[in-house]
């Protein structure tokens, strides 16, 4: 085994809960949660849309039972006025073992309510 090999472990593929399509009623805010598990050191998560980083997410880390690897969970809130139908939101997880990162995405499907009149 190569010395130092155990120092870095890439995260598992990130997962956005409820994906790959998130259905919303028109006017509802969007709450997304992404997690990347089993990384050493803990992964960093960034959220992206249209190639730009979305700020304002919250993060929590959990140390796994082996006392070495960590999981990270991030929650992102987007106001209804800032969501477009068909839009793709990306969660990218990176750490020193995988600087280029791993990513996953969801597509937002806004359900418009039509009333017969």
Q: What is the CATH number of the domain that holds 103?
A: 2.60.40.10
Q: What is the mean pLDDT of residues 40-58?
A: 96
Give residue-wise pLDDT tens across range 68-81. 999 999 999 999 99
Q: What is the mean pLDDT of residues 46-60?
A: 97
99, part of any domain: yes
Domains contained in the chain, number: 1
Query: Helix or strand or coil: residue 82?
Result: helix
The Cα–Cα gap between 26 and 96 comes to: 40
8, part of any domain: no
Residue 100 has pLDDT above 60, yes or no: yes
The pLDDT-based confidence of 1 (bands split at 50, 70, 90) is: very low
pLDDT in the model for residue 117:
60
Which structural domain range is residue 68 located in?
A: 15-108
Mean pLDDT of the chain, nearest integer: 93
27, part of any domain: yes
């Amino acid at each position: 085994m190569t010395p130092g090999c155990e120092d870095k472990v890439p995260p598992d593929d990130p997962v956005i809960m409820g994906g790959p399509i998130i259905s919303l009623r028109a006017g509802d805010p969007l709450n997304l949660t992404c997690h990347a598990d089993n990384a050493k050191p803990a992964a960093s998560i960034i959220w992206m849309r249209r190639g730009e980083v979305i700020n304002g997410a919250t993060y929590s880390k959990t140390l796994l039972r082996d006392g070495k690897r960590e999981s990270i969970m991030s929650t992102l809130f987007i106001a209804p006025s800032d969501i477009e139908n068909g839009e793709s939101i990306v969660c990218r997880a990176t750490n020193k073992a995988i600087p280029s990162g791993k990513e996953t995405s969801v597509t937002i499907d806004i359900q418009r309510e039509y009333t017969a009149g």
